[in-house]
């Protein structure tokens, strides 16, 4: 049996803990299946990943890379919890979240005395995003969003969770989805566009909020036909002159106009053999979306395919670019994330095959599978302006790899067990920042002086995690 759901458009103002209804309307959306394939564990052990012998590997001879990186400092948070993807602001200060606390760290690796840590006791904060005006936005496990000023003071909060606000105005089967008991956690950074925040929660659903100063306006929500969330996937803003917001679920990608209307939907994975997305989206300079799909096989995926979805469509159905999907010649693996280089080549961070580089058409150029041990990537890779690639790996490593696939450096965070790791940020002075568990580590590099100038050089595109193709670094 299939169900028909509706998107919900509604308006609320949050002020002094009161939600005031502004507008409400609805439109029909595609049908929602009752069931789907089981969600694979994207973060489980990778011992069964197969590394084939018939694909190109990085060269093992020739002059070594000239970029030299060394550990500069370590900042330790007293809080424990899942690490966030770090932010770098216009004064080279870093912002990180762990547990219920958001902190700002000076360029020398010390606590910023001008910033009293922002706390939400009992909640667990996700990855923040930073607006061009200096406001931080961060969601929590509770399903609420928070705005934090440049002075680190809370500006507003959404007292009810976003799912509950959508529930209040939903109709029909959409009401079932939005009114399901549970918190609707927000783990990833919101995408930012001109005072608007686009947020994805665990429903999964996309929400638009407007920051109107000391309060926030809840504008609309949008559902996919798929009710299975995709771990680690944040919304992105693409599309060029007429931007749209895209969000991914386990088996779909939906492009939504900034007004909340459906632009197009990618749903072909719902038919035929079980196939799912294996990691978050990336965006090309033309505003097209890149994604990788595979058939679940334990903790890995078989028959990996690279898709490129066009930014525009005449009939609300996603258009796949000519020549795609392209088979990735890796037998079985999981893609943790991807970045796009200045030459439009695509860099994949993989659970078993380390760093893999594809040309713009999706053909394999090389792979770097590690040095003394297998490189088991854990997050979206980050590209430096000198061509270096930085990526974190199990159990608590950070690697630097040259643009032609040679080892630049490898550091291990002290301790035992596996530490949660995130996509590195790169300051303009060449300092690479990595959030390991409760530690923020800085590595100084001699030839790296910032992010690569490309459409998608790291998690959510830039050092502010805005997820917006139209914004500079």
String of DSSP letters for 286-353:
TS-EEEEEEEEETTEEEEEEEEEE-S--SSSB--BPTT-SEE---SEE-EEEEEE-TTS-EEEEETTT
Using DSSP, how many helices (H) and how many strands (E) does the chain show? 2, 36
The CA distance from 310 to 202, in Å, is 26
Residue 52: the pLDDT is 46
- CA 247 to chain CA centroid, nearest Å: 10
Q: Which residue has the tokens 């947020």?
A: 199
CATH class for domain 2-33+67-445?
Answer: mainly beta
Domain range summary for the chain, segments of one domain joined by + = 2-33+67-445
- CA 196 to chain CA centroid, nearest Å: 18
pLDDT tens string, the chain, 473 residues long: the values are 333 333 444 444 443 333 333 333 333 333 334 334 443 333 343 444 444 445 565 555 567 788 999 999 999 998 888 889 999 999 999 999 999 999 999 999 999 999 999 999 999 999 999 999 999 999 999 999 999 999 999 999 987 789 888 998 888 888 888 887 667 999 999 999 999 999 999 999 999 999 998 889 999 999 999 999 999 999 999 987 889 999 999 999 999 999 999 999 999 999 978 999 999 999 999 999 999 999 999 989 999 999 999 999 999 999 999 999 999 999 899 999 999 999 999 999 999 999 999 999 999 999 999 877 789 999 999 999 999 999 999 888 999 999 999 999 999 887 766 677 889 999 999 999 999 888 999 999 999 999 999 999 999 999 999 999 998 65
Please report, in angstroms and rounded to a whole number, the separation of the first and last CA atoms in the chain.
46
Closest CA to 154 of 100, 199, 208, 77: 100
Q: pTM of this prediction?
A: 0.87
Model confidence pLDDT, tens digit, residues 352-378:
999 999 999 999 999 999 877 789 999
SS3 266: strand
Tokens of 374: 């297998």
Mean of the per-residue pLDDT values of the chain: 86
Closest CA to 197 of 227, 220, 166, 168: 220
**How many C-beta atoms surround the C-beta of residue 22 within 10 A?**
12
Residue 64: the pLDDT is 78
DSSP state of 381: -
Residue 412: the pLDDT is 86
DSSP state of 185: -
Residue 60: the pLDDT is 55
Judge contact between 384 and 397, C-beta under 8 A. Answer: no
The CA distance from 453 to 131, in Å, is 19
Judge contact between 433 and 86, C-beta under 8 A. Answer: yes
SS3 165: helix
**How many C-beta atoms surround the C-beta of residue 133 within 10 A?**
9
Residue 473: the pLDDT is 58
Tokens of 252: 């779909």
- Please enumerate in sequence order all residues whose Cβ is within 8 A of that of 247, keeping only pairs 6 or more positions apart, or say none: 198, 200, 204, 206, 224, 233, 235, 236, 253, 254, 256
Note the maximum CA span of the chain: 66
The CA distance from 100 to 85, in Å, is 15
- Please enumerate in sequence order all residues whose Cβ is within 8 A of that of 343, keeping only pairs 6 or more positions apart, or say none: 360
The CA distance from 322 to 196, in Å, is 33
33 - beta bridge partners?
A: 2
- CA 445 to chain CA centroid, nearest Å: 25
- Please enumerate in sequence order all residues whose Cβ is within 8 A of that of 292, keeping only pairs 6 or more positions apart, or say none: 277, 278, 279, 304, 305, 306, 307, 328, 335, 338, 348
The CA distance from 55 to 65, in Å, is 23
């Amino acid at each position: 049996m299939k169900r028909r759901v509706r998107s919900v458009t509604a308006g609320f103002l949050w002020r002094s803990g009161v939600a005031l209804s502004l507008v409400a309307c609805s439109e029909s959306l595609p049908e929602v299946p009752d069931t789907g394939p089981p969600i694979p564990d994207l973060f489980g052990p990778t011992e069964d990943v197969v590394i084939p012998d018939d694909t190109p590997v990085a060269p093992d001879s020739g002059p070594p890379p000239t970029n030299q990186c060394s550990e500069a400092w370590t900042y330790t948070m007293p809080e424990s919890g899942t690490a966030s993807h770090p932010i770098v602001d216009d004064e080279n200060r870093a912002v990180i979240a762990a547990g219920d606390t958001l902190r700002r760290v000076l360029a020398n690796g010390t606590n910023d005395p001008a910033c009293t840590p922002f706390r939400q006791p009992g909640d667990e904060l996700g990855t923040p995003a930073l607006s061009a005006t200096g406001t931080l936005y961060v969601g929590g496990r509770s399903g609420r969003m928070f705005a934090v000023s440049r002075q680190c003071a809370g500006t507003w909060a959404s007292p009810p969770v976003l799912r509950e606000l959508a529930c209040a105005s939903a109709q029909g089967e959409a009401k079932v989805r939005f009114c399901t008991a549970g918190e609707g956690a927000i783990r990833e950074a919101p995408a930012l566009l001109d005072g608007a925040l686009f947020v994805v929660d665990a429903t999964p659903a996309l929400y638009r909020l407007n920051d109107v100063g000391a309060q926030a306006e809840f504008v609309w929500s949008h559902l996919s036909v798929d009710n299975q969330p995709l771990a680690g996937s944040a919304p992105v803003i693409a599309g060029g002159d007429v931007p749209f917001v895209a969000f991914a679920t386990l088996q779909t990608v939906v492009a939504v106009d900034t007004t909340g209307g459906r632009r197009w939907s990618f749903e072909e994975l719902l038919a035929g053999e079980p196939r799912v997305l294996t990691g978050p989206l990336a965006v090309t300079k033309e505003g097209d979306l890149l994604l990788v799909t595979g058939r679940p096989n334990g903790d890995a995926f078989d028959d990996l395919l690279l898709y490129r979805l066009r930014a525009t469509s005449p009939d609300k159905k996603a258009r796949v670019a000519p020549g795609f999907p392209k088979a990735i010649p890796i037998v079985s693996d999981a893609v943790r994330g991807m970045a796009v280089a200045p030459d439009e080549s695509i860099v994949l961070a993989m659970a078993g095959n380390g760093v893999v580089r594809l040309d713009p058409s999706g053909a394999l150029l090389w792979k770097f599978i590690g040095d003394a041990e297998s490189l088991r990537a854990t997050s979206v890779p980050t590209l430096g302006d000198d061509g270096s690639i930085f990526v974190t790996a199990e159990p608590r490593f950070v690697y630097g790899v040259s643009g032609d696939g040679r080892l630049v450096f490898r550091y291990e965070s002290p301790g035992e067990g596996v530490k949660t790791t995130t996509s590195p940020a790169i300051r303009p002075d060449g300092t690479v920042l990595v959030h390991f568990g409760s530690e923020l580590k800085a590595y100084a590099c001699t030839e790296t002086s910032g992010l690569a100038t490309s459409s998608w050089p790291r998690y959510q595109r830039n050092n502010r995690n805005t997820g917006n193709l139209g914004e500079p670094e």
